[in-house]
Amino acid sequence: MNMELETAIWLIGIGQLGVLCASALVPLRLDWKHSLNMLPELHRQLYWVYGGYTVMSIIALGATCLGCSREIAVGGRLALAFTLYGATFWGVRLGLQAVLNARPHLTRWWLWLGYHVLTLLFVAFTSVYLAAIWNAIRVLH
């Protein structure tokens, strides 16, 4: 088994759960209560539903990496399926960094720094999942 991959998977588990700290600030920093107030009620509710699904996905990814890092690092079909989902989830999020215009909201140095740290974390998450995919494919063949 690849101990370095197991450790990397475990570390991104911690990192993914840590991203939830930044995620919790989004409704506050973007003033959802006021900004979304002009939308119909269903649209406001959908923002919260989508946010909830995203948070639950991150919790599931992070907790699985923490609790099953060895099994994921060993490889196999289930590891391949899980890591394909993780790489897709974080790869899409990383791609969105290039098109989302966060600049007007990065009004303080710590917001700017946090944004760039998040980008690095998204790169790390995607990279580790891709390495685990490669490992799982190698094991299956």
Which residue has tokens 């907790």?
A: 63
| The pLDDT of residue 3 | 86
Average pLDDT over residues 45-49: 91
pLDDT digits (tens, 9 = 90+) for 113-128: 999 999 999 999 999 9
pLDDT at position 4 over 90: yes
Average pLDDT over residues 127-141: 96
| The pLDDT of residue 32 | 84
CA atoms within 13 A on the CB side of 137: 8
Which residue has tokens 């119909």?
A: 40
Q: Contacts by 93-96 with C-beta closer than 8 Å and gap 24+?
A: 93/122, 94/119, 94/122, 94/123, 94/126
| The pLDDT of residue 27 | 85
Among 11-20, 27-36, 37-46, 86-95, name the one with the lowest average pLDDT: 27-36
| The pLDDT of residue 1 | 59
Radius of gyration (Cα) for the chain, nearest Å?
17
pLDDT digits (tens, 9 = 90+) for 54-67: 999 999 999 999 99
| The pLDDT of residue 61 | 98
